[in-house]
Structure 1
Amino acid sequence: MSKNRETFASRLGFILVSAGCAVGLGNVWKFPYVCGNNGGAIFILIYLVCLFALGFPILVCEFAIGRGSGASIGTALRKLSGGKGRWHQFRWYGLCGNYLLMMFYTVVAGWMIYYVGVCAKGTLRQANVKEIEQYYQSFVQTPGKMMFFMLLVVALCIGVCALGLQNGIENITKKMMLALIVLMAVMAVNSVMLKGSSKGLSFYLIPNLENVKKRGLGNVIFDAMTQAFFTLSVGMGSMEIFGSYLGKERKLTGEAINVLVLDTLIAFVAGIIVIPACISFGIRPDAGPSLLFITLPNVFNHMPSGTLWGMLFFVFMSFAALSTVIAVFENIISMSMDVFGWERRKALTVNLVGIAVLSMPTVLGFNVWSGVQLFGPGSTIMDVEDFVVSSNILPLGSLLFVLFCTKKSGWGFERFLEETNTGVGMNFPKFLRRYMRYVLPMIVLVIYFKGYYDKFKDSSPVIFGVWMMIAIAFAVYILYLSRDKK
């Protein structure tokens, strides 16, 4: 690690910042719904197994690559491999992935901030479901308002990064995450105390074999694998960068487990907030943006002191979104410095402009450019960006990280293990070597191809075939980068 490189001021800061990066919209607008529909407690148990089988080793890989290199993903693979092979080509893949994520995540984070004001003013307090939906549609079809809140998010988060690691990112994210945890605890207690909440808790937490049979055990397991894989945002260096700011005092296994536990706890408590509240008032919980901006405002309208609870909910969601944006911004800034040799000030300025400009297609995709529907009627530019990141960058990047840490042409398992087990704490299991080298990559590839299959299975055979060929081409490219040189 570079002697001049900043490090976290505290272990708690590292855990909260890393968890803040992992905690995102999927913890709230997807996990509770998927859990309830897949058998409640049965799904949670399968999910936990998948989380430690999939997410845990990849997360440790990212932390180890970061701490071992003392650099962003922009130069880390070249440093650790000694310049061997083609691993360094991934730097562009990682940089593009982080940029693509921010091109739509900044926009959605802006929605959260906007709805804090909407709920605080009681704008939707007397509205019915149709009026709530019309209000949301009216908002996203107003490019000026959308652009203002997107730019506000970009300026705020770049401003935090400008303060540096300890004074900015660690200090502010730590406070946001602690406030987020307190808010969630308060809202969970309120949700449980609502009349009729027991039905929601039963739907969410009691094992439901009928739902498992209806979905099919294979689909339940695959949903658990997918949720466990994507919840940590591994695969494009977003976690690797925080490993590069970590000291050598503690082994990485325990640190990764702490982040996993906190991320899972937040997703679990989000379900306690959402599911009982919805079912208490006879409203079926949904998934995606409609849950946050249509379903839940309707729930708050039925709830005593609903204006307060609605405002607190969107404050909590704003903290969750902003903590992720800040973390990814720092990754982009650090990669820019490593790859292009820029000073931090220049990296901040260039990326402030770059992210703001490149987020505009997402803003316009809901209104002026709403006719651009690359994935069929009703799809948006954001759907395309989300698909590229979630179904391509993350799984293929994770595949590359695992291969890099286990193949001799990369870093190699022995050096990975040495870095991971430096310090005090729990050792990384050495017996996982073959699992990580052969089994885990196959599981990641299955998740990757299943994502393409689910997305395009209802398309015409020609379109389906074209997209599957594209999927194969991307996978072959990643395997090409990891190929042993003769």
Structure 2
Amino acid sequence: MAASRGEFSSRLGFILAAAGSAVGLGNIWGFPSQVAANGGAAFVLVYLLLAFLIAYPVLMTELAIGRFAKANTLAALKKLSIGPLSRFLSTVFGYLGVAVAALILSFYGVIAGLMLGQCLRSLLALFAVEPGLLSGTGASIFFTLVFMVLTLAIVLKGVSAGIEAWSRCLMPMLIVLLLVLIAIVLNQTGAKQGLKAYLLPDVSKLWQGELMLSAMGQVFFSLSLGVGTMLIYGSYISHRESLPKLGAWVTLVDVAIAFLAGLLIIPAMYVAMSNGVEIFDADGNLLASSQLVFVVLPELFKSLGSFGTLLSALFFAMLVLASLTSSISMLEVPVATLSEQIGIERKKAGIISVSVISALSVLLIWQGDALFELAVTASTEYGQPLMGLVFSIYLGWLWQRQSLLKELQQGSPHIAATLFWRLWPVYVKYICPLIILLIFYSSLP
């Protein structure tokens, strides 16, 4: 079964693909916005701590379930079920995971389409060419569909030739672009003040409840947890690999890129301020935090003239790449489910999935902000924490401990004697559900 489903050909291939799934709008758009709105360096410090106290254990849960089952989310949960009720709930939560992934991809596609359009408009401006039809609702729909087709083209090539191969290409490009932009911004007037705000924490803010909850939610979202993508990626991992090491590498890469994104965006804010762009209100609150990337940075780019136009093209190209590394993992969730559960050929499953998700994206564009915000809230604030809770319960309470140990020993034969094995199963069983419930509760109105 593993051979027919496909498998990552190397450790590096998996790390880049899984990190690519995690690295997306949550890192480059969401993380800097949260940093700017929640105490700067204090938020960064709490985020880094929670990445390993919360995100790593839950990531390991999804990877372990996926590799054990060698199947999609629905089939994987069924394999761990121990009675009719848990088998029924496996079906419910399996399809819920597909719905959450599809809903996230629907608004991801819209945002990525806007970024793609902005990138092309910046490129045209470099050559003094009028953008013409590259603006408006029609353009948004067109670029969204283009992005969806790009995502489909990669996924249809399969695990090794598609997802892994393109992740090997896209992730290094993303990192190089990020480093180039950081070097450029840090040489601008005002950047040093931004570095100070980003790197020197105000310790009085570290224990604020709102900051802690915001950091927990951001960690959960930025690592693509609770969607089923990591579970399915785990199902493509060879039994020769050590899951704890792979999970640690993915967490490290994701956190590192989030940190680099903040190293770009936060100093860029202060560069924009030095150029007359209004960032904070009279009380020191961040203006339009959710629109930070789309409001503040374009104003910064405009203030830098033709050089800023080039910078704009590079920046939005980077965001498109980040979105694409995440979108291919999200599309794999419905594609794997349709092909394995219903028996639809992979190409047809991909076309059906993209068609449905694209139609939803078009609906979000036509209906405006209200429906778009509802899609974001339903998927990220409710769907993801709920699915993360489900995965923790299935591993901690339904999976027999000896069976779990046997799975982890494949690739890590001496794991029974490690501190990881002594702590992690208990941590996932008791602590993770409590923390996830807290995150879920904090999202309620």
TM-score by length of 1: 0.82
| CA deviation profile, 1:200-240 (whole Å, cap 9, x unmatched) | 10011112246x28xx6222222222212221121121111
Question: What do the CA deviations read for 1:221-262 (whole angstroms, capped 9, x no partner)?
Answer: 222222122211211211111111110112211111111111
Gaps of 5+ in 2: 280-285
Task: Measure how far apart 1:19 and its partner are.
Answer: 0.9
Q: Offset of 1:97 from its aligned partner?
A: 1.0
Q: What secondary structure does 1:359 align onto?
A: helix
Q: Is the 8 A contact 2:60 2:247 kept in 1?
A: yes
Question: 1:292 matched to which residue of 2?
Answer: 293
Alpha-carbon displacement from aligned partner over 1:347-382 (angstroms, at most 9, x marks no partner): 12222322222222111122xxxxxxxxxxxx5211
1:193 alignment partner, SS class: coil
Task: Give the structure 2 partner of residue 460 of structure 1.
Answer: none
Correspondence list, 1:93-104, <5 A:
93-104=96-107
Contact 1:17 / 1:170 at 8 angstroms: preserved in 2? yes
2:157 partner letter:
L
Q: In 1, Cα distance between the equivalents of 2:221 and 2:127?
A: 33
Q: 8 Å contact 1:158–1:348 — kept in the other structure?
A: yes
For 1:59, the equivalent position in structure 2 comes to: 59
Q: Structure 1 pair 22/124, CA: closer, same or farther in 2 (3 Å)?
A: farther
* 1:163 equivalent in structure 2: 157
Q: Is the 8 A contact 1:251 1:422 kept in 2?
A: yes
Residue of structure 2 equivalent to 1:234: 225
Kept after mapping to 2: 8 A contact 1:21/1:323: yes
Structure 1 equivalent of residue 147 of structure 2? 153
Structure 1 pair 106–96 and aligned structure 2 pair: CA distance change class (3 A) = same
Select the residue among 256, 260, 275 that pairs with 2:251.
260
Counterpart AA for 2:329: A
**Contact 2:37–2:289 (Cα < 8 Å) also in 1:** no
**1:404 maps to what in 2?**
394
1:330 to 329, 332, 346: 332
- 2:438 pairs with 1:446: yes
Structure in which a larger fraction of residues adopt helix: 2
Question: Equivalent residue for 1:16?
Answer: 16
Which residue of 1 is the match for residue 283 of structure 2? none
Partner residue in 2 for 1:180: 174
1:392 equivalent to 2:382? Answer: yes
Per the TM alignment, residue 41 of structure 1 is displaced from its structure 2 partner at its CA by 3.3
Structure 1: tracts of 5 or more residues without a match: 126-134, 367-378, 457-486
Match of 2:402 among 404, 407, 414: 414
Contact 1:7–1:247, Cα closer than 8 Å, also in 2: yes
Does residue 71 in structure 1 map to residue 71 in structure 2? yes
The answer (yes or no) to whether the contact 1:30–1:287 under 8 Å persists in 2 is: no
**Match status 1:273 vs 2:261:** no
Pairwise CA distance, 1:287 = 5.8
> Which of 202, 219, 226 pairs up with 2:196?
202
Work out whether residues 39 and 209 of structure 1, in 8 Å CA contact, stay in contact via their aligned partners in 2: no
**3-state SS in 2 of match to 1:393:** helix
Query: Residues 2-34 of structure 1, C-alpha deviation per residue, up to 9 Å, x if partnerless?
Result: 342211122111111111111121212232232
Tell me the amino acid that sits aligned with residue 419 of structure 1.
E
Following superposition, the deviation at residue 46 of structure 1 comes to 1.8
Residue in structure 1 matched with residue 119 of structure 2 by the alignment: 116
State the one-letter code of the partner of 1:118: R
What is the CA–CA distance in structure 2 between the aligned matches of 1:392 and 1:281, rounded to whole Å? 35
Q: Is the 8 A contact 2:272 2:297 kept in 1?
A: no
Letter in 2 for 1:354: V
CA distance in 2, matches of 1:83, 1:346: 33
Provide the C-alpha distance between the structure 2 equivalents of 1:298 and 1:103, rounded to a whole number of angstroms: 28
Aligned AA for 1:195? T
Shift, 1:420, TM fit: 2.8
Cα pair distance change 1:187/1:71, threshold 3 Å: same
| 1:59 CA displacement | 0.5
- Do the aligned partners of residues 35 and 293 (structure 1) sit closer, same or farther apart at CA in structure 2, a change above 3 Å counting? closer
Q: What do residues 145-189 of structure 1 show as CA deviations (whole Å, max 9, x unaligned)? A: 111111111111111112121111111122011100111111111
Whether the aligned pair in 2 keeps the contact of 1:74 and 1:338 (CA below 8 Å) is no
Report SS of the residue matched to 1:45: helix
Change (3 A) 1:15 1:286: farther
Q: Secondary structure of the equivalent of 1:236? A: coil
| Partner-residue secondary structure (3-state), 2:2 | coil
Q: Counterpart in 1 of 2:304?
A: 303
2:367 to 365, 368, 388: 365
**2:40 touches 2:197 (CA, 8 Å); kept in 1?**
yes
